[in-house]
Structure 1
Amino acid sequence: MSRQIHEFNDIIRKLRKNLFGKGPERIQTIFVNDMAISTLYGNLSPSEQFIARTVEGREMVHAARTRMIQNVYATAAPEGMEELVGAKFVHLFSDIKVEDDIAVSVFLFDRPIDQNGHLGGESDAAR
């Protein structure tokens, strides 16, 4: 995995840990043209897992997670993200499948960020 993708994954993990009290256990990211596409595994806190045992609870966790993360990114890119990829952050598209505890985030930038040919990487649990 490239250093750039490793650092990108660390930015995502730290932000989500600060926001939700728990960061993803594993992140896999690829850079394609003007996008960074991240798949995040093991996102839910024990409390969220408990709440998600019912249909209504899953819907509540889904809505809270997607709205909170989109609200955070709507105000500004996480510290260091734009400098790392050399492009301005434009928008985040994000969703989570609560039942499987998998989330996908697509980060859109104002210009290509894959110029170095780095096409993927994975980062294990937070250190």
Structure 2
Amino acid sequence: MSKQIHEFNDILRKLRKELFGKGPEKIHTVFIENKAISTLYGNLTPTEKFIARTPEGRDMVHSARTKLIQEVYKNSPPEGMNTLVGATLIHLFSDIKVEEDIGISVFIFDKNIT
């Protein structure tokens, strides 16, 4: 793993830990042109796992996780992200499969990542 990807993953982990009280256990990120694609494993807190035992609970955890992340990034990217990749974040697409505790985020920047 390159140093740049390692630092990118650290930014993601730190933000999610601040927001949810727990960061992902494992993150795998690839840079492709103007995109960073991150797969996040082991995201859910024990409370979220408990809530997600029912279909309604899974929907609630899914909605809260995806909407909160998108709202945070819409307001401003995490500190240091744009500088690290040498580009400006313009869009974030994010989803989580609650049943398997796997999330994915696709970051789209204004130019190719350096």
Give TM-score scaled by structure 1 length: 0.89
Distance in 2 between residues matched to 1:58 and 1:80, nearest whole Å = 32
Please give the secondary structure, in 2, of the residue aligned with 1:22: coil
Name the SS for the 1:78 alignment partner. coil
CA distance in 1 between counterparts of 2:36 and 2:105 reads 8
- Give the aligned CA root-mean-square deviation in angstroms: 0.5
Alignment of 1:104-115 (within 5 A): 104-113=104-113, 115=114
* 1:5 and 2:9 are equivalent in the alignment: no
Unaligned runs of 5+ in 2: none
Higher helix share goes to which structure?
Answer: 2
Cα distance in 1 between the residues matched to 2:18 and 2:101: 18
Indicate the SS of the match to 1:96.
Answer: strand
Q: Trace 1:26-45 onto structure 2 (pairs within 5 A).
A: 26-45=26-45
SS of residue matched to 1:79: coil
Identity of aligned residues (%): 69
Which structure carries more relative contact order (alpha carbon 8 Å, separation 6+)?
Answer: 1
Residue ranges of structure 1 left out of the alignment (5+ in a row): 116-127
Counterpart residue type for residue 51 of structure 1: I
Instruction: Spell out, residue by residue over 1:88-109, the C-alpha distance to the aligned partner (whole angstroms, 9 max, x if none).
Output: 1101000000000000000000
